[in-house]
Structure 1
Amino acid sequence: MSGKTGKRYFWVAYGLSTLLLSFGSNLATAWDLPQRMEDPLFTRPPVLDRGAILPGDHQVVVCSGNEPLNHPLTLSDAVDLALCRNPQVHAAWAAIKVQAGAVGEARAAYLPTATATLSQLHTRTEFPGVPEANSSVNGHTIYGGLTWRIFDFGAREGNNEAARLLLVAAMLAHDAALQKTLSNVVSAYFEATSARAAFGARTESRQLADDALAATVRRERRGAAGQSDTLQASTATAKAQLAEQRAAADYNKSLAMLAYAIGLSGGAFVELADMPEDEPGNAVGDLKGWLDEAMARHPAIAAARAQLEAAQAKVRQVRGEGRPTVDLTGNIYQNGYPNQGLQRTRSTVTTVGISLTIPLFEGFARTYKVVGANAEVDQRAAQFEDTEHQVLTDVVKTHADATSALANLTASERLLNSARSAVRSSENRYAKGAADVLELLSTQSALSDALQERVRCLSEWRSTRLRLMASAGVLAGDQIHAIANR
């Protein structure tokens, strides 16, 4: 074939390929194929399209922009902001996408692979001393190949199962990251509300001290009290003011920590919404029931279990890779072979066959790969037991804390009521001259302690109740909404 004919053939083939690509592009646009070709093997899990959902919840976590808060921050708002901005949640979300790609690679092993090469070549052969024998050839070569593995001993099946289980583990790890973020934000929010309540209690104590000082000054002017009483009342007032200032500093610090936990920018102003005072309500529940819930529903335990099963599937893959395989092959060569010069005459060679590959000796590499895979199974099993132990230990500790907090909640209410009655009685007695200033200051100090105990008990009850649900893996957004809106 002449050089002009070869060039003409090449440009015709190039034009046809360009036309086919253009037609295919238009057809793909009409059928929305570009999006479909992003995931042709259907490996993308639905959670990536519908959005994240808290374990046990039914509402998708909707993330908006970074609009500033223009209303008091509720617990529900804090949770929603944190779930959208926490970097650990973002990393777990990206891990799902990565593992979905690994599932696609595993599924692609069941499909044939095809290659094609089109080359335009110029070949010149020279014979020193015999110039009349020199030759020059212009032309093209075409190569096409098809390989399809039609049978192996479980290598692809083990790889596909391992990839699928790791994708399940990645989604469960994302759920665990959501639960952890949820628990951290709940703790930070209640620490802030507790600090605000403590600040309010200190303010009330300071007002009582101011009232006592004013009453003592009036009595001293009438000659009913000495200067020592006024000095003692003034000291108590200064002490109450110092405690109030420290409580204000703790409150501002807790607000800053809350803003950081939910991902607000530095210096963002946060105002907490009012929360109703909790009633004791029902009992905490049986410990065995909470442990059973954690075993069945906690995403961290489920993720560790899926990773263990994936490691077991990996063993089957490694063993299968060391066994025979059967491949269907087909090739077509036109005008020569790859990486060789052009032939003088046009030719077409077609081959079709079935290849049986039997690994005979790999230098004992397969043996050590199997040993390593089995060791990974043992490692994953130990990690599963450790995760299970940690989760159940947290449930046991939090259940004990919640039981104690529920009992303390009722006791702190009785203590606060008694302290308030004692202060009123002491104020009346002091106004009538039947009690001295030491008795009044003592009852006011007892009331301040009772207020602090009430704040502490309320915080412990609210926090441990939600932490118990989080440690068991049953805390969801709708439960937070219900508790926050009581």
Structure 2
Amino acid sequence: MRPSKTSRLILLTALALAVAGCATSALDMAPDRPDAPWKPPTDATGAIKPGPEASTAGAGGGYVLPPNRALAVIPPAPAVNPHRAYALPDLIDIAESHNPDTRIAWDEARKAALAAGIAESSYLPDITASAVGAYQDGHGNNSALGLDTSGNSNAHGVISAISLRWLMFDFGERSATIEAAKQVSAISNIVFTQAHQRVIYNVSLAFYADTAARARARSAAQSLKNAKAVQASAEARYGQGVGTVVEVAQAAQATAQAKLALVQATGGVDDAYLSLLTAMGISPMVRMTIADVAPRHLSPALDAPVQAIVAEALARRPDMLSAYAAQQASLANVRAAQAEFMPKVFLSATGAYNSGGLSVTSLPAIGQLAPTGNISGSQFNGTILAGLTVPLYDGGSRAAILGQAEASADSADAALAKARDETVRQVVGAENALRTSLAAYSASKALATAAQTSYDAAFAAYQKGVGSVTDATTAETQLLQAQNAATDSYSAVLSAAATLAFTTGGLGAAPP
């Protein structure tokens, strides 16, 4: 019995409601309440799976997510020689091999190169092969004037085709698109080089900071020895009856301050070492010996005038080169958008092969028709077309795309001008910082020498009974401050020199 129209309508309505309910049922994948913890479903490893909330809270409870044991793997650290002191070039080599920023920049450069290759493939034809198979079967019974007949029929066949489409001429649209893609690839390569320069720069600064931190720790250790010497002298004088308890207390206070300074300096060494490993992009659990900066003569005069330094930076900085390549790519995109208004010439070809068969069975035989008939055949055909397409009207979309390309080109011009101004500002600022740090280093050396002389004289005078413990402890504190100032100013000079080299685009290896 065939279903009525009403029953069919009810069935279709129920099916539509069921489908609509499937969409909203996905809400069970979200948290049930805004003020209650989400209970994430997990697999055997603890990884969170998409789906409805779990029946019980994960490990940790509350608003703590369950741990994914597959992620609890400490990355392997680079092999280091515990008996070797690593200098700055060694650290940079390790960083360039293990820092993820250089790997990411390399992958981006490869993607951009492949994009340029995809653009170049537009010069080649598109060739497509297709095959379609079909089968049809039919059966029927008929009755007329007391005569019953039945028949079966089936048909099958295969259509195989190869089609070709080749754009022959497009008034330079493809060449402009390819040029833009190549410029983007060049930008990615420049960024790759810039990533290495930044790694070199960051490691250099961290290395200088680490060296300065260790030098401050050594100065703090020596300051503690000096403070203990002053305290020992005060105690000896007090034991001989020529000193006072106030002198001993003052000396002990200075020793305690020196101990605190040493603790703080030691903590600074640990922090600087961690910053160095972070700049290198390796595990902070690596333990390696870092070499000190080799002492060198620092001249207070710069070799080149600032105008020459700025000119070199404008010609070589990665951001300047990237901005220039971006400008060239935007101009190519304008040419490609303009070519969209021109006609295109294309070539198209198709080759097809058809084969099929038909089988018909009729019982009983009707007229001259045999009880069973089989028909089969095949056919091959080919077509070649050459044509011209002329854009007439598109609702202004091409004009809008051209306007976008021209706006992007204008922005690229502005970005290049901005990069030029930023380059000049950064180079002049880095050159000023280097000059200032050189002058500060020269002054700090003289201060450290004078502070050492003052401490030696104050301590000797106190030991001989002609000086005060206050003068000795004050001189000892000032000596530590002067030594730290000399250490920091020396590190500042090296950092400023690296910064100047980085801002000019000339930092391609460890700073000399």
Residue of structure 1 equivalent to 2:115: 102
* 1:403-482 pair list within 5 angstroms: 403-477=435-509, 479-480=510-511
Residue of structure 2 equivalent to 1:291: 310
Return the offset for 1:403: 0.6
Does the CA contact (< 8 Å) of 2:300 and 2:435 recur in 1? no
CA distance in 2, matches of 1:371, 1:412: 60
Residue of structure 2 equivalent to 1:303: 322
Letter in 2 for 1:448: L
CA distance in 2, matches of 1:135, 1:109: 48
The counterpart of 2:213, out of the listed 195, 209, 215, is 195
Does the CA contact (< 8 Å) of 2:141 and 2:150 recur in 1? no
1:451-475 residue CA offsets vs partner (Å, 9 max, x unmatched): 0111111111111111110111101
Distance 1:336 1:309, change over 3 A: farther
Residue of structure 1 equivalent to 2:290: 272
The counterpart of 1:326, out of the listed 330, 345, 356, is 345
CA distance in 1, matches of 2:413, 2:183: 15
The counterpart of 2:79, out of the listed 39, 61, 67, is 67
Return the offset for 1:175: 1.2
Does the CA contact (< 8 Å) of 2:169 and 2:344 recur in 1? yes
Distance 1:393 1:270, change over 3 A: farther
The counterpart of 1:148, out of the listed 161, 166, 182, is 166
Residue of structure 2 equivalent to 1:35: none
Structure with more helix by fraction: 1
Letter in 2 for 1:370: L
Return the offset for 1:303: 1.1
Letter in 1 for 2:100: P
1:272-317 residue CA offsets vs partner (Å, 9 max, x unmatched): 2122223113732311121111111111210121112111111111
RMSD between superposed Cα atoms in Å: 2.5
The counterpart of 1:252, out of the listed 265, 270, 276, is 270
Return 314-323 or 246-255, whichever deviates more: 314-323
CA distance in 1, matches of 2:199, 2:87: 16
Return the offset for 1:402: 0.5
CA distance in 1, matches of 2:203, 2:141: 85
Letter in 2 for 1:240: A
Any idea what SS the aligned residue of 1:362 has?
coil
Residue of structure 1 equivalent to 2:222: 204
Return the offset for 1:347: 2.4
Distance 1:195 1:65, change over 3 A: closer
The counterpart of 1:216, out of the listed 234, 237, 247, is 234
- For structure 1, the residue ranges without an aligned partner over 5 or more in a row are 1-63, 338-342
1:256-277 residue CA offsets vs partner (Å, 9 max, x unmatched): 1222221222333243212222
Residue of structure 2 equivalent to 1:81: 94
Residue of structure 1 equivalent to 2:244: 226
Distance 1:448 1:266, change over 3 A: closer
Distance 1:282 1:238, change over 3 A: closer
CA distance in 1, matches of 2:283, 2:440: 37
CA distance in 1, matches of 2:315, 2:389: 45
Any idea what SS the aligned residue of 2:465 has?
coil
Residue of structure 2 equivalent to 1:7: none
Distance 1:444 1:66, change over 3 A: closer
Residue of structure 2 equivalent to 1:112: 125
CA distance in 1, matches of 2:288, 2:77: 17
Letter in 2 for 1:79: I
TM-score by length of 1: 0.79
1:319-350 residue CA offsets vs partner (Å, 9 max, x unmatched): 2133211012221122289xxxxx96432222
Return the offset for 1:427: 2.5
Return the offset for 1:127: 9.6
Letter in 2 for 1:230: V
Return the offset for 1:69: 4.8
1:96-150 residue CA offsets vs partner (Å, 9 max, x unmatched): 1111111111110111121222344435688997989986444432211122211
Return the offset for 1:209: 0.8
CA distance in 2, matches of 1:321, 1:94: 32
Return 156-165 or 433-442, whichever deviates more: 433-442
- For structure 2, the residue ranges without an aligned partner over 5 or more in a row are 1-75, 144-148, 357-374
TM-score by length of 2: 0.75
Residue of structure 2 equivalent to 1:395: 427
* 1:229-240 pair list within 5 angstroms: 229-240=247-258
Any idea what SS the aligned residue of 1:361 has?
coil
Larger radius of gyration: 2
1:387-417 residue CA offsets vs partner (Å, 9 max, x unmatched): 3333332211111110111122222222212
Letter in 2 for 1:295: L
Does the CA contact (< 8 Å) of 1:419 and 1:447 recur in 2? yes
Number of equivalenced pairs: 412
Residue of structure 2 equivalent to 1:41: none
Greater RCO, 1 or 2 (C-alpha within 8 Å, sep 6+): 1
Return 256-265 or 67-76, whichever deviates more: 67-76
1:408-435 residue CA offsets vs partner (Å, 9 max, x unmatched): 2222222212221222222322222222
1:350-370 residue CA offsets vs partner (Å, 9 max, x unmatched): 212211011111111111111
Distance 1:345 1:476, change over 3 A: same
Any idea what SS the aligned residue of 1:335 has?
strand
Does the CA contact (< 8 Å) of 2:300 and 2:439 recur in 1? no
Structure with more strand by fraction: 2
1:162 aligns with 2:177: no
Percent of aligned positions that are identical:
26
